[in-house]
Chains A and B, each alone.
Chain A
Amino acid sequence: MVDKISQLFLRISPYAAFVLFPITLWCVFFWVPSDAFLGLNQRIFYYHVPAAITCFLGFASGGVASGIFLKTGNKDWDHAAHASVGIGLLFGTILLATGSVWARTAWGTWWTWDARLTTFLVLWLIFASYLLLRMMADDNEMMPRWAAVLAIVGCVNIPVVQFATRLWRTIHPQVIRNPDGGINDPAMQATLGLCLLAYFVMFSWLWALRVRMLRMHDRVDYLLDEAYREGNA
C-alpha cells in the first residue's frame, strides 16, 4: 500500500507542485490585500500556517504509520513513518524560521517563549531525537521498532505538551475565527487554502521521494549482504 501511494504521489505531485507554487507566489504578493492592522509582513502567514499544519500532518502520520508497522511488521510502513517524520521535521523548520522572521517585525524579537512557539520547538526536538535514534542505532536490527515506539510516544505526548505550554504562557495571535482582526476576507481565505494545498502537494512529493530512497537503501544493503555471502561461501 505504501508503495502504491508513493507511486501515485511521484506521478502527480511534481506537476501539481510546479503549477501551484507560482500561483501561490502571485496570490500572496500581488493579489491578496494587506492586513489592516498587521500590514505587509502579515503575508508571511500564508506560508507559515500551512507549514504548521503540514508539520503536524507529518508527525501524526509518522505515528500512525509506526503503529501499523508494529502491528504488521511490514517494513514499508517503517519507511513511511521514517519519511513522514523526516519531512515533517523539514516543515517544522520552515515553520520556526518563518515564525521567527515574522516575530522580529511584529513583536520586535526573533524568538519568544510563547506557548505555540514553545510547543513546536519541543515537538521539533522530540522528532529530531527520533531521527538521531535512527542514525545512532542503524546497526541494530531492533532499531525500527524502537523508533516506531518513540514516534508513537511522541505523538501521544503532543496534547500534553500543548496543554502544559499553553498553561505556561501565551501571546500568539489567534488568527483564524477571531472576529476582530482575523482573516475574514475571502481573498485571504482563498490564498490560505491554496497555499495549504501547495504545501500538501509538496509534502507528498518529498515524502514519496524519501520513501523510494529508503527502499533503495534497503535494497542496496540487501544486495551487498548477498554479494558478500556469495563471495564468502
Chain B
Amino acid sequence: MSNDAATQPAIIAERVERRFGNFRVLRGLSLQVDCGSVLALFGPNGAGKTTLLRMLAGLASPNRGTATVFGTALPGNAKLRRRIGVVAHDAYVYADLNARENLAFYTQLYRVTDTERAEQLIERVGLAAAADRAVRTYSRGMLQRLALARALLHRPDLLLLDEPFTGLDPQGVARLIELLAEERQRGTTMIVTTHDFDRGLAVADRAAILGGGKIAWQSSGGLPDADEMSRIYATTVSPGA
C-alpha cells in the first residue's frame, strides 16, 4: 500500500513555521511521509522534534505554512484525532487508577468496541502482573509500557512516538521493537524520534535529521547503517551551524 502512487501521503508539511512564545522553533519545515512508512527522526535537543509531533497530533496549529494529516489540515478535528496515537514524555495516565482502569477509561474515550483489546495489550507490553496496582507505584519504564498500550488501544493509522525507548529495560525495548514491527506490518504510518541511531534505524524505513527548525537531511532510497548515520549526523548538525 505504501508504494501505491494513487494513495496520498499520510503527512504533508509545507514551509511550516511554529513559534513557542516568541521563539520560532520550526522555521519553514517541509516534510512528506507516505502512508505505511516509518520515519526515524533524529536531531539535537531543542531542534523542534517534540514541537513537530505535538503539531501533527493536533495540539498546536502551524503559525505559517500548511500541514495536512490524512488530507485534513491541522490542527484537525475529533475524527482525525481518532486515527492518531501518541507516545510522549508524559504517559497521560491517572496515578490513582490502575493500568486496567486507565485503559478502560481510554477505551471509552476512543469508543473502542473491541473489549478484549485492552487486556491483550496489557499482556503484550508486559504489565499483566502489575495491572491491578495503582499507576502511582509504577517505575518510569512501566509507565512507558502503559503509555504504549494506551497509544495502540484504538489501532491508530498514525503513530507518533517521542523518544519511546527512554526508561525501558532491554526486555521492554525488545517488546517495543517487536510491537512496532507488527504495527508496520499492519500498515501504520509512524514517526519515531530518538537519539539512539541503532534502535531508531531498526524500526524505520526512512530517516531524517531535524536541525535549525527544518529537515536538515533525509534519506533517499535505502537507510544508512548506524555508523554512517552518526557520521551524517555529525556533519549535518555541526557546532555553530
Contact = CB atoms under 8 A, between A and B. Distances in A.
Nearest to B60: A141
What range describes how many residues of A lie at the interface? 10 to 19
B30 to A, nearest CB: 21
What range describes how many residues of B lie at the interface? 10 to 19
B21 A221 contact: yes
B241 A218 contact: no
Main secondary structure of the interface of B (DSSP, over half): loop
Nearest to B238: A233
Contacts of B240: 233
Given A233-B239, A233-B240, A233-B241, A221 B63 contact: no
B108 interface: no
Interface in A216-232: 218, 221-222, 225-226, 229, 232
Main secondary structure of the interface of A (DSSP, over half): helix
A225 B240 CA distance: 15
Contacts of B20: 141
Interface string B6-35: 000000000000001111100000000000
B210 to A, nearest CB: 13
Contacts of B46: 229, 232
Interface in A106-151: 141
Contact of B22 (A73, A225, A232, A233): A225
Nearest to B212: A233
A222 B22 contact: yes
A141 B239 contact: no
Interface of B: 20-24, 46, 61, 63, 239-241
